[in-house]
Amino acid sequence: MRHLPPLAAVRAFEAAARHENFSQAAAELGMTQAGVSYQIRLLEERLGLPLFVRSKRRVTLSDAGRKVAPLISAALDGISEAFESVTQEDDGVLTISTAQTFAANWLAPRLGNFQIERPELAVRLQTSERLVDFARDEVDVAIRMGAGPWPGLCQHFLMRLHNTPFCSPAFRDRHRIERPEDLLRVPRLSADDPMWRTWLRAAGVVEAEPAGSRGIRLDSQVAEGNAALAGHGVGLLTPLYWRSEIADGRLVRLFEPLAFERASMWLVYPEHKRARPKIRAFRLWLEAAVRREAELGPAEVFTPPEP
């Protein structure tokens, strides 16, 4: 008969050991910091030795904690994989989660090529603006916006988020937009978006006062791009999401400067799933697709930002 400590205490220790921070472990597990501390105390009392060295401002693993932590992580990964193998996990289905704009304007038009390369896989694409919880959601990989790092996840840089103003040719001609300063007197879509101020500053334009909440406010770049196509205003858009509309002249880029967001696009998935054939296949395909995109430039979009 195995004499095992409570699983709740083991999970609390494993998360706290990874972060070397009780608060971050609590956030990951959906517990309070006091709850994590209590579970670890139970484990230490059962073992009869400390797993952490506690000081006023931080906790660090003790020698015993450092010895056992990787073994516990591997054991929990094994438990997770064991249950996945007989429940929802299906190596014939690849479920991808990403934001609506990236899905609609970049990934979906290319995803058929991956399906042709891997016809044995059923590919499922879900869109959501929230971060995926891999422990709860039935998702294999996610393409997310952020700066990282994300503990427990493999993460692969794809591209930096960037924007510049676009509108329809008729809107540009009707409003005689010739200089960046002209954007202050024409309808801008989601004009209160902080990225507008960032772009204007990059173009050397000082906005006398914030745009406020007047005008059309949209909650996705897909909506802003379609509103710009319809001639309702100037949208701050990501050029590589709208290459076909730019190429056929339905959208015109007004000026050269790009405004970069602090966030980038990343492919992420749990570390313990890195060897799954379907995940490896998708990663290799996606990285190749991004390299082809990078050949069209600009280079700084595909260069990871400085940490």
- In sequence order, the 6+-apart residues with CB closer than 8 A to the CB of 80 are 272
Nearest in space to 303 (alpha carbons), one of 261, 264, 259: 264
Average pLDDT over all residues of the chain: 89
Q: Lowest mean pLDDT: which of 2-11, 44-53, 76-85, 293-302?
A: 76-85
CB atoms within 10 A of CB 91: 13
Instruction: Give the pLDDT confidence score for residue 307 in this predicted structure.
Output: 65
Which of 67, 86, 105 delimits the end of a domain? 86
The CATH number of residue 21's host domain is 1.10.10.10
Assess contact for 9 and 39: CB atoms under 8 A: yes
Same domain, 41 and 97: no
Domain limits for position 96: 88-307
Which of 66, 86, 106 delimits the end of a domain? 86
CB atoms within 10 A of CB 113: 12
Same domain, 274 and 299: yes
| Domain presence at residue 1 | no
3-state helix, strand, coil in the chain (%, to 5): 45, 20, 35
| Domain presence at residue 260 | yes
Residues 213, 219, 225, 229, CA torsion sign: negative
Whether the upstream peptide bond of residue 169 has omega within 30° of 0, thus cis, is: no
| Domain presence at residue 2 | no
Nearest-angstrom CA–CA distance, 59 and 123: 43
Nearest-angstrom CA–CA distance, 185 and 177: 9
Instruction: Give the pLDDT confidence score for residue 1 in this predicted structure.
Output: 59
Same domain, 117 and 60: no
Q: Residue 262 — pLDDT band, cuts 50, 70, 90?
A: confident
pLDDT at 239 over 90: yes
Same domain, 290 and 189: yes
Strands 259-270 and 235-237: unpaired
Instruction: Give the pLDDT confidence score for residue 211 in this predicted structure.
Output: 56
Assess contact for 163 and 188: CB atoms under 8 A: no
Number of domains comprising the chain: 2
Q: Residue 286 — pLDDT band, cuts 50, 70, 90?
A: very high
Same domain, 276 and 150: yes
Task: Encode pLDDT of 144-187 as tens digits.
Answer: 999 878 888 899 999 999 999 999 999 999 999 999 999 999 99
Same domain, 146 and 72: no
